Amino acid sequence: MNILLLGSGGREHALAWKIAGSPLLTKLWCAPGNAGIAQEAECIALDVTNHAAVIDFCRANKVDLVMVGPEAPLAAGIVDDLTAVGIKAFGPSKAASQLESSKGFTKDLCTEFGIPTGAYGRFTNAADALAFVRAQGAPIVVKADGLAAGKGVVVATTLREAEDAVAMMFDGAFGSAGAEVVIEEFLPGREVSFFAFSDGETAIALASAQDHKRVFDRDEGPNTGGMGAYSPTPFVTPEVHAEIMERIILPTVAGMKARGTPYRGVLYAGVMLTPQGPKLFEYNVRFGDPECQVLMLRMMSDLVPALLAVCDGQLKHFDLRWYPDAALTVVMAAKGYPGDYAKGTGIAGLDAASSIEGVEIFHAGTSADGDQILANGGRVLNVTAMGRTVREAQQRAYQAVDRIDWPEGFCRRDIGWQAVARETGA
Ligand code: AMP
Ligand code: GLY
Q: Inform me whether the pLDDT recorded for 150 exceeds 80.
A: no
- CATH T-level topology, domain 2-93: Rossmann fold (3.40.50)
DSSP code of residue 402: H
> How far is CA 239 from each of CA 115, 244, 324, rounded to the nearest angstrom?
17, 9, 18
Q: What is the pLDDT of residue 233?
A: 94
Q: Band the pLDDT of 198: cuts 50, 70, 90.
A: very high
CA–centroid distance, 149 to ligand 2, in Å, is 10
Q: Band the pLDDT of 345: cuts 50, 70, 90.
A: very high
Q: Which CATH class is domain 190-317?
A: alpha beta
Give the residue from 294, 273, 124, 261 showing the smallest Cα distance to 195: 294
What average pLDDT score do residues 50-68 get?
A: 98
Which CATH number applies to 125-179?
A: 3.30.1490.20
Number of the ligand closest to the Cα of 268: 2
What average pLDDT score do residues 86-108 get?
A: 96
Decide if domain 326-424 falls under CATH 3.90.600.10. yes
pTM here? 0.96
Number of the ligand closest to the Cα of 331: 2
291: Cβ below 6 Å to ligand 2?
yes
CA–centroid distance, 288 to ligand 2, in Å, is 4
Beta bridge pairs of residue 287: none
d(CA 332, CA 99): 30
- Residue-wise pLDDT tens digits, 238-261: 999 999 999 999 999 999 999 999
Q: Tell me the three state secondary structure of residue 49.
A: coil
Helix axes 10-20, 291-298, angle to 10 degrees: 20
Instruction: For the chain, give the mean pLDDT.
Output: 95
CA–centroid distance, 155 to ligand 1, in Å, is 7
- Alpha helices for 138-290 (secondary structure H): 159-170, 238-244, 250-258
Diameter over CA atoms, the chain: 60
Q: Inform me whether the pLDDT recorded for 268 exceeds 80.
A: yes
288: Cβ below 6 Å to ligand 2?
yes
289: Cβ below 6 Å to ligand 2?
yes
CA–centroid distance, 92 to ligand 1, in Å, is 23
CA–centroid distance, 326 to ligand 2, in Å, is 19
Give the residue from 258, 242, 145, 128 showing the smallest Cα distance to 196: 242
Beta bridge pairs of residue 140: 156, 185
Q: Inform me whether the pLDDT recorded for 426 exceeds 80.
A: no
Which residues, judged by CB distance below 6 Å to any ligand atom, belong to the binding site of ligand 1? 118, 141, 150, 153, 155, 184, 186-187, 191, 213, 223, 270, 281-282
Domain spans in the chain, listed from the N-terminal domain onward: 2-93, 125-179, 190-317, 326-424
Q: Inform me whether the pLDDT recorded for 218 exceeds 90.
A: yes
139: Cβ below 6 Å to ligand 2?
no
Number of the ligand closest to the Cα of 223: 1
Q: What is the pLDDT of residue 317?
A: 86
What average pLDDT score do residues 285-289 get?
A: 97
CA angle, residues 196, 197, 203, in degrees to nearest 5 = 85
Residue 302 has a CB neighbour count (10 Å cut-off) of 17
What average pLDDT score do residues 213-235 get?
A: 94
How many CA atoms lie less than 13 Å away from 282 in the CB half-sphere? 26
Q: What is the pLDDT of residue 147?
A: 86
